Amino acid sequence: MTKIKVCGMRRKEDILMANTCRPEYVGFVFAKSPRQLGIDSALELKKALDPEIQAVGVFVNEYPEVIETLCESQIIDMVQLHGDESAEYIQRLKEKVEVPVIKALRVRDRQQIREGAELPCDYLLLDTYTKGMYGGSGKTFDWHLIPPIDKPFFLAGGLQESNAGEAIAAASPYAVDVSSAVETDGYKDFEKVKKFIERVRAYE
Ligand SMILES: O=C(O)c1ccccc1N[C@@H]1O[C@H](COP(=O)(O)O)[C@@H](O)[C@H]1O
């Protein structure tokens, strides 16, 4: 079964929506973004989140100490590195935190994905390359570029209800990750999230 991550939780309503729609993962964006959360807000959201749903912290070139603190305080259950973090950075972080680490790649070509699969992370996340943006672009990339790799990966970038089935068929990801397309006026939209999740569940 393809797992689902809904990224960019910002309000208590978003968490109540997640508790109802039941994705496996939700994302708290700590990177600079219109969806950026502070630590205190993240703590409040995590307290309201169903404990069966994992909270993923999304970071771009963050000081490792910040990530370590969020993991130790159990505000996040998983780390998503969405910047230019090197293999050495990932390795050092893995030695400090006990939670799984996802490394995002902004996909340019097959070779980059093959090399990414060798990184010392637990999962890859394959997102669209968009100049000047680290993530949350709402744009898709050519899923047929993805070569067979041994590492499980999250598929991201412009996913929505209408393309979720095609994306899963083309890429066979471990999980799909959605953000922009399930928003209205910059906030998560219950109906859009519900329809996206129903479409992915119906695909199995
Ligand atoms: O969502 C953001 O604003 C963001 C900012 C910086 C890095 C990553 C971010 N989000 C991630 O972007 C992808 C794709 O999202 P979309 O569906 O295309 O909008 C997803 O992995 C988010 O976790």
Which atom from ligand 1 is nearest to the alpha carbon of 33? 3
Report ipTM for this prediction: 0.98
Spatial CA neighbour of 36 closest among 68, 65, 66, 16: 66
- The CA radius of gyration of the chain, in Å to the nearest whole number, is 16
Q: Ligand 1: which of 3, 24, 32, 58 to mutate, judged by most atoms within 8 Å of the beta carbon? A: 58
The residue whose C-alpha atom lies closest to atom 23 belonging to ligand 1 is: 7
**pLDDT of amino acid 203:** 86
Pocket probe for ligand 1: among 82, 85, 159, the residue whose CB has the most ligand atoms within 8 Å is: 82
Q: Residues 6 or more apart from 51 whose CB is under 8 A from it?
A: none
Residue 6 in contact with ligand 1 by CB distance below 6 A: no
177-193: b (≥16 Cβ within 10 Å) or e? bbbbbbbeeeebbbebb
Which of 31, 23, 22, 17 is CA-nearest to residue 5? 23
Q: How many residues does the chain have?
A: 204
pLDDT of 162: 97
CATH topology assigned to domain 3-203: TIM Barrel (3.20.20)
Asked if residue 135 has its Cβ within 6 Å of ligand 1, the reply is: yes
Residue where the block lists tokens 């928003």: 183
Alpha carbon of 176 to ligand 1 centroid (Å): 12
- The tens-digit pLDDT sequence of the chain (204 residues) is 999 999 999 999 999 999 999 999 999 999 999 999 999 999 999 999 999 999 999 999 999 999 999 999 999 999 999 999 999 999 999 999 999 999 999 999 999 999 999 999 999 999 999 998 998 889 999 999 999 999 999 999 999 999 999 999 999 999 999 999 999 999 999 999 999 999 999 987
Residue-level pLDDT at 102: 98
> What pLDDT was estimated at residue 29?
98
Other beta carbons within 10 Å of 30: 24
User: C-alpha dihedral over 122, 104, 79, 43, to 10 degrees?
Assistant: -150
What backbone phi and psi angles, to 5 degrees, belong to 154? -90, 135
Residue 185 is encoded by which pair of tokens? 């006026």
pLDDT of res. 136: 82
Say yes or no: CB of residue 57 within 6 Å of ligand 1. no
Cα(135) to centroid of ligand 1, in Å? Answer: 4
Query: What are the structural domain ranges in the chain?
Result: 3-203
121 φ, ψ to 5°?
Answer: -105, 170
Check if 176 has its Cβ closer than 6 Å to any atom of ligand 1. no
Quick count: other Cβ atoms within 10 Å of Cβ 52?
8
Ligand 1 within 6 A of CB of 179: yes
